[in-house]
Amino acid sequence: MKKRKTNIFLGWLLTVTLCISNSALHSQEHPKLILTKAGVEKIRAELGKVPLFDESLEELKNEVDAEIALGIDTPIPKDYSGGYTHTRHKKNWFVLQKAGVLYQILDDEKYAIYVRDMLLQYAELYPTLPAHPKTRSYARGKLFWQCLNDSNWLVYASQAYDCIYDFLSKRERKNLEKNLFRPFADWISVENPQFYNRVHNHSTWGNAAVGMIGLLMGDDELVDRALYGLKNAPVNTGEKDNDGGFIYSDDGRAGFLANLDEPFSPDGYYTEGPYYQRYAMYPFLIFAEGLENVKPELKILEYKDGVLLRAVNALLNLSDADGEFFPLNDGQKGMSIYTSSLVSAVDIAYRYGGKNPQLLSIAQEQGQVLLDDSGLDVAVGIRDGLAKPFEKKSINLSDGPKGEQGGVGILRYGNEDLTLVFKYAAQGLSHGHYDKLSYSFFEKGDEVLQDYGLSRFVNIEQKGGGNYLKENKTWAKQTISHNTLVQNETSHFKGKYEIGSKHHSQLYFFDASQSTVQVVSAKESNAYPGTEMHRTMALIKGDSFEKPFLLDILKVTSDSKNQYDLPFYFMGQVIQTNFEYNAPETIEPLGKKYGYQHLWTEGQGKASEDNSKFSWMNERRFYTLTTTTTAADEMRFVRIGANDPEFNLRRDAGLMLRRKDTQHTTFVSVLESHGSYSPVSEFAVNSKSNIASVKKVRDDEKYTAIVIEDIKGEKYVFILSNKDESNSSKHNLNINGNDYSWSGPYFFK
């Protein structure tokens, strides 16, 4: 597999190598990177005629004018994220870029003067700076505590420099390049190879920063360093970064292209998950746009079958009905398609990706456009009434450079009325969590069963400097914090990055061809050596049901007897159970490690014979979980928050099914969303489960067959072929006197 990847890369390299050499004679015009001389002329001609563009411009102008009025401040760096010096330098990079754009579009020198003065101030400051005084990072920056933020700064500042390039004297340019930009680019690359020469979102920023200033200064050495990484940098030292990820990958490849090859699957899924994909989209796309403008012969947007544009589509599909990204791996809840890096992603994807009119409706909701050629195209498209609704459908996104390392399956019903997010992906680098075959479930934009997301208050300095909190490792990354199986109170891969990084789950099949029965199924055999988990999730709309229900079949086969815990992190308030439980007088943590130390037991009892039922209410809707159990199973109500003295964790609830001393077993659960409650009319509608029973009528190596009976006596049969997923295979089966014949991996009626 590694060999084939290298070949493809070499192929593209051959195609473009000559072009790169030729392009050394690049244009001397400025701006040329993101804005272009021709583009600016076109923009000026359209001013006042394209509402969304004009509004975005007006907003930007107000913001920059307010900053200019405040005056320039480039303080001596000293703080972590959220502190003053951090926030000020961060603000500066945005304002620099924006003021540069305003100078070009409005042709008003005050903006050029502001950019010039600030850059000159930085050129004076920078040579005096040692590494940042805060030492927590594996790669300290100079303006910021980590090289990552310094790279952010340079990605934006280069655009500002481009905009005022012609406004500056030759001497000023020389000063800036010598005292600021070149040493800046060197610091984040040659001085910090452990940061720069990785396959990681951090490095993508570093690569883009070095590449953009390189394109601008006409320095092909820097552009090469950006595209291909540092030569002769250390390889595979086993060192780790702050998040516990390996710094160097096995094959030592680095640079922008390696960062396109490795973490992106052919479907455009970014292995770290959507929260980090969103973060990386800006440097990926803005540097790509710069390359497209300065070195069009590179055809960067066609690289790897157009993966950058596919990535925008994947990312938009990795959001809920409110546009918020699914918090897979380390994801902060609330981050959404309305963030600024998605504005650039959508605009650039529109311009360069065939002008998909569905992107225009996203841009409309974003309410702003880039102030460049792409943004103008989008604003014109909207003005001309071309926008169409963006339709999110069920989608399977493969993970891994070749799409062969598992993935994420998303099943949607209706207009995102119900959404299943099923994760059977690879580790996701250092931001990955240990949760194979886990899922979360949404109704519209509300979480029904949640993925906890990260434990961090990003940029809120009072909470651990705004950085990852220790509970991110002790809770959020652990398996038990997810809706998936935990064996013997131990996380998948024992929570070890070294092991987890080597493995991924395997897709069994994905079928969303019929809207009334959609199925995703995957297997995992490395999380617990000797144990295979096979989880199949189906979103099924039965005739007598108001909404689809979710059928969850988790078949566990092991070479030994184990304890299995299957938690359900429901959101909302308990309404009813059909099993008895006791609430303890004093409450204690459930365990000592692997996240169990963070769970209180609020209730504990025996499961019901056959089916245990649990109903809750959230956001004015009712939900019921019906799961097959025996009286030997244990049910526990848990609450997050034990051993969390600083209240870093949310006090959310869960219900845990515990099955002890068992070798092979199959968990079968049905989750219904039903009815509604209004505190205004005080009517409770359809507040009870419509399911009378869920039964395993056959469960062996070859087949698992489930019968779901509703309260009117109607029966639904779902049969899964456990070993043969071929679409063409024919199956004939007799269960309790009924004959079933079908082709393909499953039967449903």
Length, in residues, of the chain: 749
Query: With CB under 8 A as the contact rule, which of the stretches 133-141, 436-444, 461-469, 562-570 interacts with its own copies?
Result: 461-469
Strands of the 531-540 sheet, one edge to the other? 506-514, 517-524, 531-540, 549-558, 665-674, 621-629, 610-618, 573-577
When asked if residue 589 is in the footprint of its own copies (CB under 8 A), the reply is yes
Q: Which of 226, 653, 691, 707 binds its own copies (CB under 8 A)?
A: 653
Count of CB atoms situated within 10 Å of the CB of 415:
10
Candidate segments 150-158, 221-229, 462-470, 497-505, binder of its own copies by CB under 8 A: 462-470
Q: How far is the CB of 438 from its own copies (least distance, A)?
A: 22
Q: Tokens 């479907």 label which residue?
A: 267
Q: Does 447 engage in binding with its own copies (CB under 8 A)?
A: no
- Is residue 276 part of the annotated active site? The answer reads yes
Burial code of 316-339, b = ≥16 C-beta within 10 A, e = fewer? bbbbbbebbbbbbbbbbbebbbbb
Binder among 684, 692, 697, 735 for its own copies (CB under 8 A): 684
- Work out which of 48, 645, 713, 737 binds its own copies, going by CB under 8 A: 645
- Phi-psi map region of 541: left, alpha, beta (phi>0 left; psi -120 to 50 alpha): beta
Binding status of residue 654 toward its own copies by CB under 8 A = no
- Angle, CA of 605, 607 and 609, to the nearest 5°: 145
The stretch near its own copies (CB under 8 A) out of 100-108, 429-437, 579-587, 713-721 is 579-587
Q: Should residue 26 be labelled a site residue for its own copies when binding is judged by CB under 8 A?
A: no
Give backbone dihedrals phi and psi of 153, rounded to 5 degrees, phi first: -55, -45
Q: Is 574 in the site for its own copies (CB under 8 A)?
A: yes
H or E stretch covering 575: strand 573-577
When asked if residue 88 is in the footprint of its own copies (CB under 8 A), the reply is no
With binding defined as CB under 8 A, does residue 692 bind its own copies? no
Note whether 440 and 470 are within 8 A (CB).
no
Shortest spacing between CB 117 and its own copies, in angstroms: 24
Residue 466's SS3 state is helix
**Closest to 478 measured CA to CA, from 463, 468, 464, 490:** 490
β-pairing, 599-606 vs 531-540, is unpaired
Q: Which of 102, 104, 107, 110 shows the shortest CA–CA distance to 40?
A: 104
Nearer to its own copies, 351 or 598 (CB): 598
Q: Max Cα separation, the chain?
A: 91
Question: Using the rule CB under 8 A, which residue among 110, 182, 240, 333 binds its own copies?
Answer: 333
Quote the radius of gyration of the chain (alpha carbons, Å).
27
The one among 20, 587, 692, 735 contacting its own copies by CB under 8 A: 587
Q: Minimum Å distance from CB 684 to its own copies?
A: 5
The DSSP string of 303-359 is HHHHHHHHHHHHHHHTB-TTSBBP-TTT--TT-BTTSHHHHHHHHHHHHHTT--HHH
By CB under 8 A, name the one of 677, 703, 716, 718 that touches its own copies: 677
Q: Does 460 bind its own copies (CB under 8 A)?
A: yes
Among 506, 526, 576, 686, binds its own copies (CB under 8 A): 576
Q: Figure out which of the listed residues 119, 176, 617, 670 binds its own copies, where binding follows CB under 8 A.
A: 617
The residue assigned the tokens 């079928």 is: 511
Which range in 19-27, 50-58, 490-498, 582-590 contacts its own copies by CB under 8 A? 582-590
How many Cα atoms are found within 13 Å in the side-chain-facing hemisphere of 415? 3
Q: Which of 301, 335, 348, 527 touches its own copies (CB under 8 A)?
A: 335
Residue among 48, 71, 238, 679 that touches its own copies (CB under 8 A): 679
Q: Which tokens hold the place of 298?
A: 């590179």
682 binding its own copies? (CB under 8 A): yes
In whole angstroms, give the CA distance from residue 235 to residue 250. 7
Q: Does 340 bind its own copies (CB under 8 A)?
A: yes
> What is the Cα–Cα distance from 569 to 451, expressed in whole angstroms?
8
CA distance 437 to 594: 18
Among 44, 108, 516, 683, indicate the residue that binds its own copies (CB under 8 A).
Answer: 683
Compute the least distance from the CB of residue 624 to its own copies, in Å: 10
Q: How far is Cα 69 from Cα 64, in angstroms, rounded to an integer?
A: 9
Contacting residue, 603, 633, 690, 707, with its own copies by CB under 8 A: 603
Q: C-beta of 137: minimal distance to its own copies in Å?
A: 18
575 binds its own copies (CB under 8 A): yes
Alpha carbons 138 and 151: distance in angstroms, whole number: 15
Residue from the set 334, 367, 414, 529 that interacts with its own copies by CB under 8 A: 334
CB of 421 within 8 A of CB of 440? yes
Pull the structure tokens for residue 383.
């003005």
Among 583, 631, 632, 711, binds its own copies (CB under 8 A): 583
Please tell me the count of residues contacting its own copies according to CB under 8 A.
Answer: 55
Minimum separation from the CB atom of position 617 to its own copies (A)? 7
59 lines the binding site for its own copies (CB under 8 A): no
- The dihedrals phi and psi of 179, each to the nearest 5 degrees, come to -95, -20
Q: How far is CA 416 from CA 249, 399, 543, 688, 745, in A?
A: 38, 23, 19, 23, 26
Q: Cβ of 393: how many Cβ atoms within 10 Å?
A: 11
CA–CA dist 463, 625 (Å, integer): 36
- Collapsing DSSP states into helix, strand and coil, what is residue 203? helix
In the complex, minimum distance from the CB of residue 623 to its own copies, in angstroms, rounded to a whole number: 13
Using CB under 8 A, which of 244, 466, 500, 595 touches its own copies? 466
Q: Which residue in 86, 200, 431, 674 is the catalytic one? A: 431
The yes or no reply on residue 84 touching its own copies (CB under 8 A) is no
**Least Å distance between CB 618 and its own copies?**
12
Please state the φ and ψ torsions of residue 183, each to the nearest 5 degrees.
Answer: -60, -30
Position among 242, 336, 676, 686 found at the interface with its own copies (CB under 8 A): 336
The answer to whether 643 contacts its own copies (rule: CB under 8 A) is yes
Token pair for 237: 């030292």
Q: Which stretch binds its own copies (CB under 8 A): 334-342, 418-426, 548-556, 727-735?
A: 334-342
Which of 80, 103, 196, 276 is flagged as catalytic?
Answer: 276
Q: How far is the CB of 682 from its own copies (least distance, A)?
A: 5
414 lines the binding site for its own copies (CB under 8 A): no
Q: Which is nearer to its own copies, 129 or 587 (CB)?
A: 587
Q: Where are the alpha helices (DSSP H) in 353-456?
A: 357-366, 373-383
Nearer to its own copies, 26 or 333 (CB): 333
Q: How far is the CB of 651 from its own copies (least distance, A)?
A: 6
431 labelled catalytic: yes
Nearer to its own copies, 87 or 563 (CB): 87
**If binding is defined by CB under 8 A, does position 712 make contact with its own copies?**
no
CB of 152 to its own copies, least distance (A): 12
Type of residue found at 634: E
647 forms part of the interface with its own copies (CB under 8 A):
yes
Q: Alpha-carbon distance 671 to 277, whole Å?
A: 30
Q: How far is the CB of 58 from its own copies (least distance, A)?
A: 19
Q: What is the binding site for its own copies (CB under 8 A)?
A: 82, 87, 332-336, 338-340, 457-463, 466, 573-576, 581-583, 585-589, 600, 602-603, 615, 617, 637, 639, 641, 643-647, 650-651, 653, 677, 679-684, 687-688
Catalytic residues: 276, 431
